Each structure stands twice: as structure tokens, then as C-alpha cells.
Amino acid sequence: MSLVSLKIAVTASRRASELAQIITNFGGIPHIVPTIGIETSRASNEIEAFVNKIIEDQKLEYVIFMTGPSVYLIMSVATNLGLKSKLVEALNEAIIISRNHKTKQALAVHGVKTDVIPKENTSQGIARALRDESVMDKHIAIVQHGGEYSSILKNELAASGATVSVCSTYIYSLELEANGARILDTMGFSYKSPNEDMVVKLIEEINKGLIDAITFTSPPAVSGLFKIAEKHHVKEQLKTFLNENTIVAAVGPSTEKALSENGIKADVIPKIYKMGSMIKALVDYIAVQNLQEGKLHNSRLR
């Protein structure tokens, strides 16, 4: 089974090349058009205050790191303040939760151990895992990116009785500022910068039936696409073509929710929320379509 030379759009930025290679391995034709960038300039004062809080908070019991770039940013600020060794010491006295293995690796580079990697690495999954530990009156710090979905984990934990503090180290945007690019390059990510003209062209290709499937690996990737579509007055047309003519793949529940909020039904969601699993699920979906129709399903595939 393969993607039979189908054209698959990649909206990711940070791991676009990696995802494109997986698509190629399955016989597909990746079409990389990032819809998000990273902006860090607004967060420096917040990060400085947060570094001091972690060092000084004697009651801190859990620290949750949501992304690798967040680790890099908070460590960079601590280094500039001459506080990195104290920060690492304070973190290693707490229970450290890394959302995924990439985040764990980023922490390990700086000498910080990871105690827990949740089975379900969404905000809701992390909240459920911590509720099982009874977080009533516990002090929890979250290091994450900002944005419309960034408050979910904080609200879930606060509702369980925890005292929660949050540091938003960067935000997703439609641009990739120089510092954001430097950070990702330092971390070894082959980052593809978003370009509005390219996104507009992608929307035109979708609306002409030239894209067989589109992949989303984060809620901001969804938001970025639809913000540009709305700006150019083609949002409703895009919704129609995504729902009727293009296979839509979401890497997990948060991304599926972002699609749903924009009126899009995800056709493919893997059981394991990883890029490779998403593409394998896409292959399986197409195989089922072929079996049911005896050919490529014309309403969803060219």
C-alpha cells in the first residue's frame, strides 16, 4: 500500500522536511507550504521573571515542558542572567514532565532529567495524568508556547485544585522572525519559513482540486491557513473544497479540534499522535477508499 503518487500538502514548519520524507517513503509527492512561524521578541521579560520564580519557589513540585524550543529559550535567558546552574538545580528537585521525546532530549542537553512522558501528549492527556496523581494544592509550572490553545492545560489543572504558573516563551505567527529561525537552527531543525503568497497559491490549488490530501501537525498550522484564507476572502470556498474534495489529516485531537472550529472534518486521525502514524493512517484510509470503490474515490481524490 502507498500514496500512489498523490500530492500531499505539508503545513508544518518546524519538522516539514521530516514529514515530507515520510510522505516520499510511502510514494507520495510532498508539497511543503508552511502556515506558521515563531515570534520570541515579546516574551523576554516574562521568561526572566519565570526563571527567578522557579529558582525561588520552594513549594514547586511539578514543571511541565511542552516544546523543545521553550526549553532552549528559557535556558538561554537563564544563561544570560547567570542563573542557569541554579535553574537546572531547581528543576532537578521537581518532577519534570516532558510532553514528548523531543522535549526530553532538549532538557537532557542542559542536564535536566525527565521523570514523566505522558502516554497522551495533548494538554488534556497531561492534565488527566496529573489528576491521577492528585494535584490538589500542588504548585505546578508550565513552560509552553502562547496562543489560543495555550490556556487549556492551565485551566484543567487549576480546576483540579493546583496552583499553576505559566511561561509562554514564544508565540506562533504568520512570520518567522530572525531569532526564532536562529533558535530552531541551533536545535537542529530544518525550518521552512511561512510565505503568505505561497499559502494563497496553496489555497488556489486546493480549490482547483490539485491537492489530494493536506496534513496538519498543530492547531496553529490550522489557524494560520484560515487567517490567510479569510484575509483574501476565500475562507468559505476553502472550507467547501477541504470538506468535499481533499483528504484532511490531523496529527491528534487538539489539531482536530482546531479544524472543527473552522468548519472542517478531519478524515484521518492516527491512534498514536505522531507524524509517521498520521501518514500510515492516511495510507490505510486511501486503501479502504480503493477497496470500497474499486478505484480512487473521485469525490475525495483526483
Asked if the model's pLDDT at residue 291 lies above 90, the reply is no
13 and 120 in one domain? Answer: no
157 and 211 assigned to the same domain: no
Query: Which of 56-65, 124-133, 247-256 is predicted with the least confidence, judged by mean pLDDT?
Result: 124-133
> Of the residues 136, 154, 186, which one is the last residue of a structural domain?
186
> Is the overall model pTM greater than 0.75, yes or no?
no
Residue 247 inside a domain? The answer is yes
- Counting Cα atoms < 13 Å in the Cβ hemisphere of 225 gives 31
Are 103 and 181 contained in the same domain?
Answer: yes
Q: Note whether 152 and 60 are same-domain residues.
A: yes
**Could you list the residue range(s) of the whole structural domain that residue 145 is in?**
41-186
% of the chain with per-residue pLDDT over 70: 83
Position 77 in a domain: yes
Residues with Cβ within 8 Å of 65's Cβ and at least 6 positions away in sequence, in order, are: 71, 96, 97, 98, 99, 103, 106, 107, 143, 144
Same domain, 171 and 208: no
Question: At which of 186, 210, 225 does a domain end?
Answer: 186
Residues 211 and 282 in one domain: yes
Kindly state whether residues 135 and 199 are assigned to the same domain. no
Is 56 within a domain? Answer: yes
Provide the domain count of the chain. Answer: 2
What pLDDT does 68 receive?
85
Q: What is the tens place of the pLDDT at every residue in 144-188? A: 876 555 578 888 898 888 899 998 887 766 554 445 555 555 555
181 shares its domain with 74: yes
Q: Which of 169, 192, 189 is nearest to 71 (CA)?
A: 169
143, 247: one domain: no
pLDDT at 230 (0 to 100): 93
CB–CB of 71/107 below 8 Å?
Answer: yes
Lowest-pLDDT choice from 74-78, 117-121, 149-153, 212-216 = 149-153
| Secondary structure class of 25 (helix, strand, coil) | helix
Residue 176 in contact with residue 87, Cβ under 8 Å? no
Q: Is residue 302 part of a domain?
A: no
Task: Give the full edge-to-edge strand order of the sheet including 29-32.
Answer: 29-32, 7-10, 213-216, 247-250
Within-domain flag for 138: yes
Name the pLDDT band for 298 (thresholds 50, 70, 90): very low
Q: How far is CA 159 from the centre of its chain?
A: 24
Q: Please give the pLDDT value at position 31.
A: 94
First to last CA, the chain: 17
Question: Residue 31 is part of a domain; what is its CATH number?
Answer: 3.40.50.10090
Does 107 fall in a domain?
Answer: yes
Choose one of 143, 166, 186: the last residue of a domain. Answer: 186
298 falls within a domain: no
State mean pLDDT over 55-60: 88
* 140 and 84 belong to one structural domain: yes
- The listed range with the strongest mean pLDDT (32-46, 183-197, 275-289) is 275-289
Q: Per residue in 191-226, pLDDT tens?
A: 555 578 889 999 999 999 999 999 999 888 998 899
Distances (CA, A) of 12 to 57, 198, 260: 36, 13, 18
Q: Establish if 2 belongs to a structural domain.
A: no
